C-alpha cells in the first residue's frame, strides 16, 4: 500500500506483505486471494494511517507501468481466460522471452 501522489504507483510505501503463489493458482484464484489479502492489510494498518502515526517510506527504483498495448504480446497465452493456470503462463512467458533473444 502506498500514498497516492502525482506519479503512477510512486507514492511513499505504507505497508507491504509478501504473498506466495499456490501451485494450482489461476489468474482468477490469485487475483481473488490478492484482493482479500490487501483488504486485510488495509484494515490492519488503517488505524495508524488515519491517526497520522504511520509514516510512509520512499520507494526505490523505477517500478513498472503497463499499457493495454503490452497485452498483445502475451494475449495468446491466456488459453483459458481467467482460468489460465499461473504455472502455465510463467513457463510459456519464459520461453517467449528466450525466443526473442
Q: For 22-78, how does the pLDDT look when each residue is reduced to its tens digit (9 = 90+)?
A: 999 999 999 999 999 999 999 999 999 999 999 889 988 777 778 888 888 888 999
* CA-based end-to-end distance of the chain: 35
For the question of whether the overall pTM of this predicted structure is more than 0.85, the answer is no
A 10 A CB-CB count for 99 gives: 7
In angstroms, the CA 33 to CA 35 distance is 5
Q: How far apart are CA 56 and CA 64, in angstroms?
A: 19
78: buried, middle or exposed (CB in 10 Å: 19+, 13-18, 0-12)? middle
- How does pLDDT run across 67-93, given as a tens digit for each residue? 888 888 888 999 999 999 999 998 888
Sorted by where each begins, the domain ranges of the chain are 27-100
Amino acid at each position: 500500500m502506498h500514498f497516492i501522489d502525482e506519479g503512477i504507483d510512486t507514492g511513499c510505501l505504507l505497508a507491504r506483505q509478501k504473498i506466495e503463489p499456490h501451485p494450482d493458482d489461476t489468474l482468477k484464484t490469485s487475483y481473488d486471494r490478492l484482493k482479500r489479502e490487501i483488504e486485510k492489510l488495509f484494515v490492519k494498518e488503517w488505524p495508524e494511517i488515519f491517526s497520522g502515526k504511520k509514516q510512509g517510506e520512499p520507494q526505490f527504483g523505477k517500478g513498472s507501468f503497463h499499457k493495454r498495448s503490452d497485452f498483445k504480446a502475451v494475449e495468446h497465452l491466456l488459453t483459458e481466460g481467467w482460468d489460465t493456470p499461473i504455472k502455465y503462463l510463467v513457463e510459456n512467458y519464459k520461453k517467449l522471452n528466450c525466443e526473442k533473444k
